[in-house]
Amino acid sequence: MAKTLTTVAMALLACALSTGASAQGVGRTFPGVAPAVPSPGGAPSAPAIAPGPAAPIAPGPAAPVAPGPVAPGVAAPDHDNNAGRPRIVKVPGLPTVVIPRGPAGRNSYSDRVARCVHYGTAAGVPTGEIGRFTSHCAR
């Protein structure tokens, strides 16, 4: 009896598998839809990786470039004035941060804000406090 039940179960399983494939539309055509066309040659092969040139050797330090002539009527920039002392910013409850002076001619409010954000985050000012620190620092 058990052998008969096993045979019947196998027959039902085979029937279910064969009808499941046809129910999914394999081999069927639908009106108004073009039949599937396999690609010529099948799936594309993986691209071959060709060895490239060897990595270039890093060049040495660049030679210093002398400043060019200054346009008439414009004062020459004084690069020694940029050697001022850095600002030390102390905000209560936050770490003390040293903010270096910016290059000559780069001390607008937005330049100071950029330096304050950069050096503040590098010094460990928490993300939730960087706005308070920056507003105090950029003044």
pLDDT tens sequence across 115-132? 999 999 999 999 999 999
Residue 89: what pLDDT? 92
Predicted confidence at residue 62, as pLDDT, reads 62
How much is the pTM? Answer: 0.41
Contact 118, 89 (CB under 8 A): no
Residue 43 within any structural domain of the chain: no
Task: Place 37 in a pLDDT band, splitting at 50, 70 and 90.
Answer: confident
User: Which residue from 53, 119, 59 is spatially nearest to 91, judged by alpha carbons?
Assistant: 119
pLDDT digits 0-9 by tens, 38-83:
667 666 666 677 777 776 666 666 666 666 666 566 555 554 444 4
What is the DSSP secondary structure assignment for residue 77, as one 8-state letter? P
90 domain-assigned: yes
Percent share of the chain, pLDDT over 90: 24
Residue 126 within any structural domain of the chain: yes
- Check if the beta carbon of residue 108 is closer than 8 Å to that of residue 79: no
113: number of Cβ within 10 Å: 14
Q: Answer yes or no: is 22 within a domain.
A: no
pLDDT in tens, 56-67: 666 666 666 666
Containing structural domain, residue 103 = 85-137
pLDDT band at 139 (very low <50, low <70, confident <90, very high): confident
Does residue 102 sit within a domain? yes
Tell me if 57 is assigned to some domain.
Answer: no
Number of domains the chain contains? 1
Distances in Å between the Cα of 104 and the Cα atoms of 16, 43, 51, 68, 136 are 82, 61, 47, 17, 22
- Tokens read off for 50: 């060709």
Is residue 12, in this structure, part of any structural domain at all? Answer: no
Residue 100 lies in a domain: yes
